[in-house]
Amino acid sequence: MTSPIAVVVLAAGAGTRMKSTLPKVLHPLAGWPMLRHVLGNVGRLKPSRIVGVISPGAEAVAGAFAPHPTVVQKRPVGTGDAAKAALGALEGHLGQVLIVFGDAPLVTAATMKKLIGACARAKAAVGVLGFRARDPSPYGRLIVQEGVLEKIVESKDANVVEKAVDLCNSGVMCLDGSLIAALLGGIRNDNAKREFYLTDAVGLARKAGHRTIAVEGDEAEFQGINSRAELAVAERALQGRLRADALAAGVTMTDPETVWLAADTRFAADVSIGPCVRFGPGVSVAAGVQIKAFCDIEGARIGRGALIGPFARIRPGSEVGEDVHIGNFVELKATRMARGAKANHLAYLGDSDIGAASNIGAGTIAVNYDGYGKHRTVVGPEAFIGSNSSLVAPVRIGRGANVTAGSVITEDVPAGAVAFGRARQTTKKGRAAPLRAKLKERAAAAKRAKK
């Protein structure tokens, strides 16, 4: 069941300090656009509707909101005007309206629920999330007396007493849906910047005799993201949360601060992760997996009991089966390794299917690209591929077949067969010394010619 809550996500900011052609709310954080984090957090509230407010021409941002509708703030004239642009999409909604920002991905659903619940209990027309700041100087202050939010004062407008207040405005607000049109409609732009400030809704509600409240959250959730430096700070904060969740769920990390996770990385219990490991989006890891140092894994599923690394790279579309071994400097791309298969050293397996209990020798390459298209290599169960072999796709190696070391395989190998794909060795006895002398003289002649 959905609750009588609507959410408006303000995402029309220009983000000029990011110095990027990519809209600010689409910059990645733990592998996701920051807007996706915001939508995920508000989605946990199970709102009746989510409306995005975007700038003109922001088709990419509108696409990131899908399937939720978006409205356009025609001119960047303040947060009050941006919220007002959403009124048409809120028509008929009389419950609470939560207003959040698309560049505030660290605000948790629990904190938003805390605000919504407090507003419901107090029957407040306006509720504002605040936080106790270590350095309140850049922020607007929430002036609260006897549980009532009397006003929000911008830092530059605060007097000496108000500047001493450390309860600061986060910008996240909850408004009574039956009053929101009147409150937003009453906001004026009679200020130095000629902008419509959403914070003025507090004073308007108070003037009309309605209750206004402030609810405290943790400062760590309200870090602004307006520059690349602030994006990096938010990334570190989010990584801390993700690591803590993984450790609490039964994952061992030798050096947690060197393990980088995506927002959707999923671990079962008893996974062990060495230092300097990166997980990109779309990774799931089953129980009992050991991932050694300096591995990079993205878009892959790792089966129970697998052993990965060190220095392994597993790229999107790969499936590593139960008890598989992927060793040092082995790269997989769109490759399925069946149960018990091994590739322990220096191999590239792209667009391949490796059968159960097969062994891939050091230096093996699945030659999957011919310059025009990708082709698959299929290795049957219990096959042995000798070191330094090239399997030129499309090619199939049958069950139990043996490909000898150094072979270039261009044709299918039947089950149980031994395949040689290399030139016959020629040995000339006693010719090493004369060859070295010849080469030495050639090098000396080349050196004399340069003088």
Quote the crossing angle between the two packed helices 34-43 and 109-122, to the nearest 10°.
50
The continuous run of DSSP H or E covering 213 comes out as strand 212-217
Q: Report yes or no: 189 and 77 within 8 Å, Cβ to Cβ.
A: yes
The continuous run of DSSP H or E covering 238 comes out as helix 228-248
**Active-site choice (27, 68, 210, 345):** 345
**Would residue 345 show up in a list of annotated catalytic residues for this protein?**
yes
DSSP state of 123: T
Instruction: For residues 183 and 174, give the distance between their C-alpha atoms in angstroms, rounded to a whole number.
Output: 12
Give 229's contacts (C-beta < 8 A, 6+ positions apart). Answer: none
Q: Report yes or no: 119 and 135 within 8 Å, Cβ to Cβ.
A: no
The continuous run of DSSP H or E covering 3 comes out as strand 3-10
DSSP E strands in 317-429: the ranges are 318-320, 325-333, 336-337, 342-350, 352-354, 359-360, 365-367, 377-379, 384-385, 390-392, 395-397, 402-403, 408-409, 418-419
Query: Which of 95, 88, 23 has the alpha carbon at shortest distance from 56?
Result: 23
Pairing of the two strands 167-176 and 96-101: antiparallel
Q: Report yes or no: 143 and 165 within 8 Å, Cβ to Cβ.
A: yes
Q: Report yes or no: 262 and 131 within 8 Å, Cβ to Cβ.
A: no
- The count of other CB atoms within 10 Å of the CB of residue 287 is 13
Taking the mean position of all CA atoms in its chain, how far away is CA 178?
37
Catalytic residues: 345
